[in-house]
A and B are shown apart, each in its own frame.
Chain A
Amino acid sequence: MLHLAESQPRTDTETVLSVENLKAYYQMNYFGVSREVRAVDDVTLAIRRNEIYGIAGESSSGKSTLIKTIAGAIQPPLRVVSGSVTFNFAGKPLDVYGAPEAMKDARWRHLSYIMQGSMNVLNPVRRVKHAFHDFAFAHMGLANTAFWGRVREHLKRLGLDPRVLDSYPHQLSGGMRQRLTIALATVCEPEFIIADEPTTALDVLVQQDVLALIKDVQQRMGSSIIFVTHDMTVHAAIADRIGIVYAGRLVEEGPTEDVFAKPQHPYTVHLISSLPRLGDVTRRKALPGKPPNLSDPPAACRFHPRCPLAVDRCRTENPPLVPRASGRVACWRAGEAEVS
């Protein structure tokens, strides 16, 4: 019944997740006033096996909506308007919005989720072991003793004393709780993990520890991870490839090193320029303006009101996401901006 990730042939070029022309809008219609927030607009991306894919973008750029849509964890008023999300679990394609039953079975077994603010994902009034039982037991198909053996072994590998199973969440430190939620998300050895800002609430030391842990677990299991955070330094530390999201659209994508060394999109250039560098004491420039209102986004290229390089074409024609250098970029003037 149980197919472990280790027993499968692993080819790093195999696509695990493909998202095609995905559009997900918040559609609200209250008291005769309808509003549509285009939080995910025409996103196409593919994630390979054994890869950590970072998604970066500022607050309210639609990062969280994008991964919620990918995970199939959406509720009205958020709706998928068009496009598809297809996983490839154990060699079988799985359409997230086409096969809800199969998707339900795949949850946690093949696809798990490390949540934003994951310090609070454990129920404060129940012992930790109940969380493991509730989330993982049904998906693993093991007998009771075998299951708890696996859980204990897994905790030990993640540097946790199996005795934590008998504690309540408030009895554990923040770092332990974070490890525990990672343990919870990885105990079934899923092929795909979605991590939504898992390190945002932690101080840098614990953050480093947690990142190392995630990377370690990922490499051992050969799973793929979507890692979402607004913190570019975290991306630099962990991601293999990065996708930059601006106002609900993917504007640039490429291998981490290339994105940091030679960013193509003016927005990415600004992101990279804003990072502090050792020895450099000049003041960092903030990008003027603010993220656009997604219920009424700017026409054509959504970045043009804030873009120093904007030309007339940017105001009339939306740039497609086209292959360029080692990645893809959506800009009419790609590669022209310089990192300061």
Chain B
Amino acid sequence: MFKILRDLLRYNTEFLIGFVLTGAIFLFAAAHFFAPYPDNAIYMLPPDMPPSAEYWLGTTSRGQDVLWQMSAAIWNTMTFGLTVTVISRFLALAMGMTSGYLGGRTDQALMTINDTLIALPNIPILLLVYFVMRDQMSWPILALTAALLGWNYDARLIRSVALSLRTREFTRHAVFAGMSVPQILIRQHLPYVMPVIFFTAMNNLIWAIGLEVTLSVLGFSDINRPTVGGMIYWANQHQAIIAGIWWWIAFPIIAIVLLFLGLFLLAISVNEYIDPRSRLSRMGG
């Protein structure tokens, strides 16, 4: 594992840039645990201060330090994204593998659910859930809802891998030796599917973060919890652009762009590592 990481860092510039960017943003986000002010305290500082030696990224109209707000916001946004990713990976795995392996009616039933969810638009459903559950809405529930909408494409992908694994000799052998269906899926097929999971996880993380930002910018989340989208929401509420408080909006946007860029570079370079064909074309073979 460390050898792979070392080689990727040494030979793959995209991976290096992605790794440094994502790592730096993660460290910055982790720093909010040492923040001098509580995350959701307001009017602790003079409002609307431009970036200066004292407040590096300025302060908001709500009297918060943009630097520490952003640190907590990125942490929360990433937590949301990772939660969505983990839950939706489990769903995609379970659905894709059972559907592909069992085939027949199970396959038809599961893939009908899958295709229906693919056809449904995500944002309106999330908004509906938000309005229905307005009072109980918290970020874990929102994450769960997003995860329930985020597994379908990858389930299809995993199903296609499982379909081919099902007819391999080692599967028939395992069936003959008396292994049960869960045993075959977990012990024989899962190691095969893991690279797919790693790669789709990156894409899913990017999607989930994007979703969170979208919902928060529109105010459809817990607005008192600092998130990247939440910061932009508050900036809009205080008409920061018109008031000339550009740093309130600019820095969160720069941060999220950098995070996306880092994750995207990681995703494509990891894909290059997993897919031998693109590795070969890179080597000029």
Contact = CB atoms under 8 A, between A and B. Distances in A.
Interface stretch (A34-42, A131-139, A154-162, A283-291): A131-139
A121 B176 CA distance: 11
A139 B176 CA distance: 13
Q: For B170, B177, B187, B188, which residue has the most chain A Cβ atoms within 10 angstroms?
A: B177
A73 B179 CA distance: 13
A125 interface: yes
Interface in B134-162: none
Given A71-B176, A104-B178, A107-B177, A125 B191 contact: yes
B101 to A, nearest CB: 13
B124 to A, nearest CB: 39
B156 to A, nearest CB: 21
A73 B177 CA distance: 10
Interface stretch (A111-119, A295-303, A327-335): A111-119
A123 B191 contact: yes
A116 B188 CA distance: 19
A108 B191 contact: no
A123 B171 CA distance: 8
B187 A134 contact: yes
B128 interface: no
Contact of A134 (B169, B183, B191): B183
A120 B176 contact: no
Contacts of B191: 123, 125-126
Given A134-B183, A134-B188, A120 B178 contact: no
A138 B176 contact: no
B192 interface: yes
Contact of A120 (B169, B174, B175, B192): B169
- Size category, B interface: 10 to 19
A122 interface: yes
B168 interface: yes
A134 B190 CA distance: 14
Interface string B86-121: 000000000000000000000000000000000000
Contacts of B277: none
Interface in B181-208: 183, 187-188, 191-192
Contact of A117 (B169, B176, B177, B178): B169
A73 B173 CA distance: 10
A108 B178 contact: yes
Interface string A91-133: 0000000000000110110001101111011111110001100
A126 B191 CA distance: 7
B172 interface: yes
Given A108-B178, A120-B168, A139-B178, A113 B187 contact: no
A108 B177 contact: yes
A228 to B, nearest CB: 15
Given A125-B191, A134-B188, A115 B173 contact: yes
A172 to B, nearest CB: 14
A121 B178 contact: no
A257 to B, nearest CB: 33
Given A123-B188, A125-B191, A130-B187, A135 B169 contact: no
A139 B177 CA distance: 9
B105 to A, nearest CB: 12
A139 B178 CA distance: 9
A124 B165 CA distance: 11
Contacts of A116: 169
Contacts of A135: 173-174, 177, 179
B188 A73 contact: no
B228 to A, nearest CB: 38
Q: For B176, B183, B188, which residue has the most chain A Cβ atoms within 10 angstroms?
A: B176
A117 B173 CA distance: 11
B192 A134 contact: no
Interface in A161-212: none
A71 B178 CA distance: 12
B253 to A, nearest CB: 42
Contact of A121 (B173, B179, B183, B187): B173
A179 to B, nearest CB: 16
A136 B174 CA distance: 10
Contacts of B183: 134
A130 B173 CA distance: 13
A12 B217 CA distance: 82
A98 B251 CA distance: 72
A107 to B, nearest CB: 4
A93 B176 CA distance: 20
7 contacts: A107-B176, A113-B173, A115-B172, A120-B170, A122-B170, A134-B188, A135-B174
Given A115-B169, A115-B172, 11 more contacts: A104-B178, A107-B177, A108-B177, A113-B173, A122-B170, A130-B187, A131-B170, A134-B183, A134-B187, A138-B178, A139-B177
List 4 tightest A-B contacts by C-beta distance, closest first.
A120-B169, A135-B177, A107-B178, A121-B173
Interface of A: 71, 73, 104-105, 107-108, 112-113, 115-118, 120-126, 130-131, 134-136, 138-139
